[in-house]
Amino acid sequence: MNIKDVDIAIVGAGPVGLMCAYLANLCGLSCYIADKSEGPLAVGRADALNARTLQYLEIAKLFDDVYSHGKPCNTSSVWSKGEFVSRQSRWWDELEGCFHKHFLMIGQAFIEQVVDSRLKKANLPVKRNASADQIRMTTEGTEILMSNGDAVRSRFLIGADGAHSMVRRSMDISFEITRPEIVWAVVDGVIETDFPKVPEIIVFQNETSDVAWIPRERNIDRFYVRMDRMDFTLEEAVSKIDQAILPHRLSFVEMEWFSRFSVKESVAEKFSVDRKVFLVGDACHVHSVNGGQGLNTGLADAFNLIWKMNMVVKNFAPEELLDSYEFERKPVAQSVVESSGELVRSTKYSKAGTHAKDYVEIVAKRAGNITGMGIRYGDQKSGDLVGERLFDFEIFPFASQATQTASRIYTQMDYSRYTLLLFGSCFDLPKLKSNINVIAIEIISPAAHEKLKRNADLKNLESLPNAECNASASNQFLAPLTRYEGQALIVRPDGYIAAYSSVTEIGKILEGYVYES
């Protein structure tokens, strides 16, 4: 038996387990991750990253590995019997504080391969062909016995082991499943068609709306076809696509993946046990694929959880912080089950027979979930920023920082630390703990912003802000007017606002982040 002692043990290296391991490694935590499969997914399953996930990837420095490989898509249109009916993208266009107002169509397999390879490079390869056989709670944490002979002792155990989670079952956590008896065929392939091909999600309205066409990366396309029974053939699914697209024609030149997806809906009764065992991703929530929320919700679980573990392991926060994982993520999972459930049922049942139109209207109504941008934590009091996502904004370097180029605030965040954002003037900060990174933002006029966008020098336009002023800020930037002018914000590592005050009263929010003198 090989005994391993780590901060975090992760069972399951699907996209969510992989992301947990990657983030733990970014934070400098020791980690063990194992999966019973031979390697990351090669094809199929989830197909889109939403706008919030793209912001997470920026914080985690994974964005550049992914973005150029996907296909941006923010438009849904409805077609009926060869006729165009409607086209919408308003719920994306209206998003504020976000620079990528679209889905990035890219397969789960690609994401898994990118993160798996980053883990290898970081000398933290996934233990493959290794399943968790037994779990035991100990005074210090947990111990897992693996099929490869490893005995892994850890402070925290994460069950990222999918819908049939062995970790969830070992902890006796209830997971009652609803089955709305709706089954989808999912078909990925290279197609030839005389239909005017555009990067839009297309829902076809016939008697019901049982075919949706999803643009994908590379030269492939995806079709979801509602079948309502499990024993259908690929030919039957393709025949429904042929019917939906009439009078146009479509043929598959190459078939990449075909799957039957029977809709199940459930949210685990608990997301954690004794502040030692935590469930993430499909292990604690499953639902229909409609709205593309499974992978995105799982990745958001990972971003919500790992920084909390990091703060607790490093004694920057009490263990109670870990309770907020379930408190914050369970309501999100419940709302995702509701929104995907409403969508999937609308494809089959419609009072007016306008299923496809109804579908797109539900997408608009549930846009906060589908874009990921409507998620906020805690109780919303009017005007209260706490629990809101940080709105992204452009930043420009000071002239003296010649090596830096124009960018956005999300690219400057560090997942292993809080970010203290100071807007507007000069401050004398006390000595802050190392779990907080300070960024000072000097607001510039619209004219200066225009000039900076053209890469021009600001000289003679206005007096330059004094870069020496905020000596304790590790980074200082110029930015056009933002909604945060005059404020000081403490932003959590996952990009949500933890506390705020006016910059002149900053002492109010720094308690807990300052070394006692």
For residue 297, what are the CA distances in angstroms to 190, 325, 488?
28, 13, 29
CB 211, min distance to ligand FAD, A: 14
In sequence order, the β-bridge partners of residue 258 are 187
Binding residues for ligand FAD, per CB under 6 A? 11-17, 34-37, 45-47, 108, 131-132, 160-162, 166, 186, 259, 261, 281-282, 289, 292, 294-295, 298
Neighbours of 1 (CB within 10 A): 7
Q: Which is nearer to ligand FAD, 215 or 424 (CB)?
A: 215
CA 189 centroid distance within chain: 26
Q: Which is nearer to ligand FAD, 258 or 410 (CB)?
A: 258
Q: Which is nearer to ligand FAD, 16 or 344 (CB)?
A: 16
Q: Which is nearer to ligand FAD, 59 or 214 (CB)?
A: 214
Q: Which is nearer to ligand FAD, 210 or 282 (CB)?
A: 282
- Structure tokens, 23: 């983030």
- Structure tokens, 135: 């779990």
CB 259, min distance to ligand FAD, A: 4
Q: Is 179 helix (H, G, I), strand (E, B) or coil?
A: coil
Q: Is 383 helix (H, G, I), strand (E, B) or coil?
A: coil
100-125 as b/e, with b when 16 or more CB fall inside 10 Å? bbbbbbbbbbbbbbbbbebbeeeebe
Q: Which is nearer to ligand FAD, 287 or 376 (CB)?
A: 287
Q: Which is nearer to ligand FAD, 291 or 480 (CB)?
A: 291
CB 508, min distance to ligand FAD, A: 39
| Location of structure tokens 């005994």 | 3
Q: Which is nearer to ligand FAD, 288 or 412 (CB)?
A: 288
DSSP letter for each residue of 118-177: HHHHTT---B-S--EEEEEE-SSSEEEEETTSEEEEEEEEEE---TT-HHHHHTT---PP
CB 271, min distance to ligand FAD, A: 13
Contacts of residue 209, defined as CB under 8 A and 6 or more positions apart, other chains included, come to: 203, 346, 347, 355, 356, 359
Length of the chain: 517
CB 184, min distance to ligand FAD, A: 8
For residue 446, what are the CA distances in angstroms to 396, 397, 398, 455, 459?
13, 16, 16, 14, 15
Q: Which is nearer to ligand FAD, 112 or 358 (CB)?
A: 112
CB 55, min distance to ligand FAD, A: 19
CB 284, min distance to ligand FAD, A: 9
Contact 144, 170 (CB under 8 A): no
Nearest-angstrom CA–CA distance, 88 and 144: 49
